[in-house]
């Protein structure tokens, strides 16, 4: 993989993070409760941190890819997130689904490139999205355990 190819992939990933930032900003304009607004601002901040990390990622052949457990919670929840009310569990579902889509996208892209370095980079990006998804699934699971 050339440095130019690497940069194109990073630019693609940054664009995905920018979409997520806008998504959470748009939801902030729709929410009616202070607690939800605070959570959405935190989610926006996380996405901005992801974007900054990608912007600071430098061309290398040596990526450490973490194995991330999958709780599979998002797989059993509605795919129709566009029509959900803006309450705490639904915000978590929306976030889980967004991270799951990114995880699957990067995983699929990792198989589509014959170049091992490009595949490895996409596997690294997929691993990062899996961490985000796990965080949201854990929050959702904790919410359910509280008897909700």
**Residue 59 pLDDT > 70:** no
Return the percentage of the chain with pLDDT > 90, whole number: 34
The confidence score (pLDDT) of residue 45 equals 92
Would you list the domain boundaries of the chain? 3-145
**Residue 133 pLDDT > 90:** yes
The confidence score (pLDDT) of residue 7 equals 86
User: Residue 46: which pLDDT band, with cuts at 50, 70 and 90?
Assistant: confident
Over the chain, what HEC string results?
CCHHHHHHHHHHHHHHHHHHHHHHHHHHHHCCCHHHHHHHHHHHHHHHHHHHHHHCCCCCCCCCCCCCCCCCCHHHCCCCHHHCCCCHHHHHHHHHHHHHHHHHHHHHHHHHCCCHHHHHHHHHHHHHHHHHHHHHHHHHHHHHHCCC
Average pLDDT over residues 58-69: 79
Return the percentage of the chain with pLDDT > 70, whole number: 97
Is the domain spanning 3-145 CATH 3.30.2310.20? The answer is no
The confidence score (pLDDT) of residue 56 equals 82
Average pLDDT over residues 17-25: 92
Residue 134 burial (CB count, 10 A): 18
Average pLDDT along the chain? 87
**Residue 78 pLDDT > 90:** no
User: Residue 60: which pLDDT band, with cuts at 50, 70 and 90?
Assistant: low
């Amino acid at each position: 993989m050339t440095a130019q190819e690497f940069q194109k992939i990073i630019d693609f990933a940054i664009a995905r993070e920018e979409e997520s930032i806008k998504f959470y900003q748009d939801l902030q304009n729709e929410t009616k409760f202070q607690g939800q607004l605070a959570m959405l601002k935190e989610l926006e901040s996380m996405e901005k941190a992801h974007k900054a990390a990608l912007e600071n990622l430098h061309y290398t052949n040596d990526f450490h890819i973490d194995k991330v457990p999958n709780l599979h919670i998002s797989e059993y929840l509605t795919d129709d997130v566009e029509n959900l009310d803006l309450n705490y569990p639904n915000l978590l579902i929306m976030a889980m689904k967004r991270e799951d889509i990114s995880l699957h996208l990067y995983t699929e892209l990792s198989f589509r490139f014959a170049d091992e370095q490009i595949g490895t980079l996409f596997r690294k990006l997929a691993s990062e999205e899996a961490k985000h998804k796990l965080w949201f699934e854990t929050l959702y699971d904790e919410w359910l355990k509280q008897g909700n």
